[in-house]
Structures are given as structure tokens and as C-alpha cells.
Amino acid sequence: MSRRLTLVLGGVRAGKSRYAQELAGDGGRVLFVATAEPGDEEMAARIAAHRAERPATWSTLEEPIDLVTALTPLVPDFDTVLIDCLTLWVSNLLLQDPDREGTPAHIQTQARRLIDLYERSDVSWIVVSNEVGLGVIPTTRLGRDFADGLGRVNQQFAAAADDVVVMFAGLPVNLKTPGPQGR
């Protein structure tokens, strides 16, 4: 299997995680990277359900913020890295800086570092993220900062990706696949 970066986008409960796991199922040794933190009982239940859905043969890394540092020593030991998801990762980065001073630039830098790690590796990556650009404009500054930050991160990953798929009602729609002569 040749190295590929696949970005899987979609709304809430659109089937992103299921689709990404199906893609990774053919990926040999899989490292699942979880960015969620159990902030309340409902989120803890969601995390437990996601854990139960993953194959027992996969390795799991739970890292909410510093993906590059955590992934760097591990990536060479795997054939596929599945990150689920950029949405919570961007949220975690945003909430890490309560005054949000310099956060947009910091988030962009962290996303670039993550893409650079992929580009230095020989491993396929599948990255899941929510598409937040189809909804209403948030009424709070924090909400707008989140939507702006995630939108920019999604654009960075889409530009670097070999394949971009958006999920609608459980159905994948291919937005980007290289043709015979590349992108």
C-alpha cells in the first residue's frame, strides 16, 4: 500500500469515523489517535463507545493537544495512522489558551507541523474532521474563533491530502482524488 493522506470531512453523525475505520481496516498495522477528552459523563460514554468499535488489533494513542510530539516516535512502527479528530484537537488547542492571544497563528503552526510529520513519513494517514462551514455563524467570539480555526486547518489538510471525502448521511462523496497525472 502506497503512502496517502486522506481527509474525511462531514457534519455531526455523518458517518465520518465509521468510514475512516473502514478505510484503515485494509491498512496493516494501525495506530488510532484519539483527541477527545472525557469532560462529562456523556462524552465519556461516547469515548467508550468509540473504543468498543475499534478492532482489538489496533494500537491507540490518546493525545488531546501535542500530537506531533506524541506521534513522532510512534509513526515508523505503523502502516496507517488514523486521527479522529481534528475538530476536538482544534477545540483543545483553542481552550488551552483562555485569552486566545495568538491562538489562530498557534493552531495554524501546529497543523503545519502535523502535516510536515506526515510528509516526512512513509505511512498512510487518515484524518477525520468536522465541516463547520455549512452552518450558521456562531454568535460568540469563541465560537467564531473555533469555526475560523477549524476551517483553516481543514483547508491546510485538504491542500496536502491525496484524497478528500465528505460524508453526507453516511454516504461518501469524493472531493479530491489525483488523476493519472497527479493533482
CA max distance for the chain: 49
CA distances from 36 to 51, 86, 122 (A): 11, 10, 26
Angle between helices 16-24 and 41-53 (to 10 degrees): 30
Q: What is the CA 123 to chain-centroid distance, rounded?
A: 15
Q: Catalytic: 106?
A: no
Q: Environment class of residue 127 by beta-carbon count within 10 Å: exposed (0-12), middle (13-18) or buried (19+)?
A: buried
Task: Give me the catalytic one of 15, 47, 50, 151.
Answer: 50
Contact (CB, 8 A) for 170 and 14: yes
Whose CA is closest to 94, among 139, 157, 149? 149
Q: Which amino acid is at 138?
A: P
- Active site (catalytic) residues: 50
